[in-house]
Amino acid sequence: MLTISVPVPETAFSALHLAPEGFGREMRIAASIQWYAQGKISQDKAAEIAGLSRAAFIDALSAARVSPFQVTADSLAAELADAH
Protein backbone atom coordinates (compact mmCIF):
# COMPACT_ATOMS: atom_id res chain seq x y z
CA MET A 1 0.00 0.00 0.00
CA LEU A 2 1.22 3.49 -0.84
CA THR A 3 1.24 6.23 1.79
CA ILE A 4 0.56 9.85 0.89
CA SER A 5 1.02 12.91 3.04
CA VAL A 6 -1.70 15.55 3.21
CA PRO A 7 -1.16 18.75 5.19
CA VAL A 8 -4.09 19.33 7.57
CA PRO A 9 -4.49 22.22 10.03
CA GLU A 10 -4.22 21.05 13.65
CA THR A 11 -7.60 22.63 14.37
CA ALA A 12 -9.27 20.07 12.08
CA PHE A 13 -8.67 17.30 14.60
CA SER A 14 -10.29 19.13 17.49
CA ALA A 15 -13.20 20.31 15.31
CA LEU A 16 -14.08 16.68 14.54
CA HIS A 17 -12.98 15.36 17.96
CA LEU A 18 -10.63 12.86 16.31
CA ALA A 19 -7.02 11.85 16.75
CA PRO A 20 -4.89 12.09 13.58
CA GLU A 21 -5.25 8.35 12.88
CA GLY A 22 -9.04 8.49 13.18
CA PHE A 23 -9.12 11.65 11.08
CA GLY A 24 -7.15 9.94 8.30
CA ARG A 25 -9.54 6.99 8.34
CA GLU A 26 -12.60 9.24 8.24
CA MET A 27 -11.06 11.28 5.43
CA ARG A 28 -10.52 8.11 3.33
CA ILE A 29 -14.11 7.02 3.92
CA ALA A 30 -15.51 10.49 3.13
CA ALA A 31 -13.48 10.76 -0.06
CA SER A 32 -14.56 7.29 -1.15
CA ILE A 33 -18.21 8.08 -0.52
CA GLN A 34 -17.93 11.34 -2.46
CA TRP A 35 -16.18 9.75 -5.44
CA TYR A 36 -18.69 6.90 -5.46
CA ALA A 37 -21.64 9.33 -5.29
CA GLN A 38 -20.17 11.23 -8.25
CA GLY A 39 -19.91 7.99 -10.21
CA LYS A 40 -16.14 8.28 -10.50
CA ILE A 41 -15.40 4.89 -8.92
CA SER A 42 -17.18 1.60 -8.42
CA GLN A 43 -18.52 0.40 -5.10
CA ASP A 44 -15.76 -2.21 -4.88
CA LYS A 45 -13.02 0.35 -5.53
CA ALA A 46 -14.59 2.81 -3.07
CA ALA A 47 -14.66 0.14 -0.36
CA GLU A 48 -11.02 -0.70 -1.10
CA ILE A 49 -9.93 2.95 -0.88
CA ALA A 50 -11.94 3.41 2.33
CA GLY A 51 -10.29 0.33 3.83
CA LEU A 52 -13.68 -1.29 4.42
CA SER A 53 -15.42 -4.46 3.35
CA ARG A 54 -18.10 -3.90 0.74
CA ALA A 55 -20.81 -4.50 3.37
CA ALA A 56 -19.21 -1.97 5.73
CA PHE A 57 -18.93 0.52 2.85
CA ILE A 58 -22.65 0.11 2.12
CA ASP A 59 -23.28 0.83 5.82
CA ALA A 60 -21.11 3.97 5.51
CA LEU A 61 -23.12 5.02 2.45
CA SER A 62 -26.32 4.59 4.43
CA ALA A 63 -24.93 6.64 7.33
CA ALA A 64 -23.99 9.38 4.84
CA ARG A 65 -27.44 9.13 3.21
CA VAL A 66 -25.95 8.18 -0.15
CA SER A 67 -27.71 5.56 -2.27
CA PRO A 68 -25.75 2.36 -2.81
CA PHE A 69 -27.15 2.23 -6.36
CA GLN A 70 -25.47 4.06 -9.24
CA VAL A 71 -28.39 4.33 -11.65
CA THR A 72 -29.05 7.32 -13.85
CA ALA A 73 -32.27 7.93 -15.74
CA ASP A 74 -30.43 7.36 -19.01
CA SER A 75 -28.85 4.07 -17.91
CA LEU A 76 -32.18 2.83 -16.58
CA ALA A 77 -33.94 3.75 -19.84
CA ALA A 78 -31.23 1.93 -21.82
CA GLU A 79 -31.58 -1.20 -19.69
CA LEU A 80 -35.36 -1.13 -20.05
CA ALA A 81 -35.05 -0.70 -23.83
CA ASP A 82 -32.64 -3.67 -23.98
CA ALA A 83 -35.09 -5.80 -21.99
CA HIS A 84 -37.73 -5.63 -24.75
| DSSP for 3-35, written as a single string | -------HHHHHHHT--HHHHHHHHHHHHHHHH
**What CA–CA distance (Å, rounded) separates 80 from 33?**
28
Residue 80 identity (one-letter amino acid): L
pLDDT digits (tens, 9 = 90+) for 43-83: 999 999 999 999 999 999 999 999 999 888 888 888 888 88
For residue 3, the Cα-to-chain-centroid distance in whole angstroms is 18
Angle between helices 20-37 and 54-63 (to 10 degrees): 80
Q: 0.85 cut: is pTM over it?
A: no
Domain boundaries, the chain: 43-84
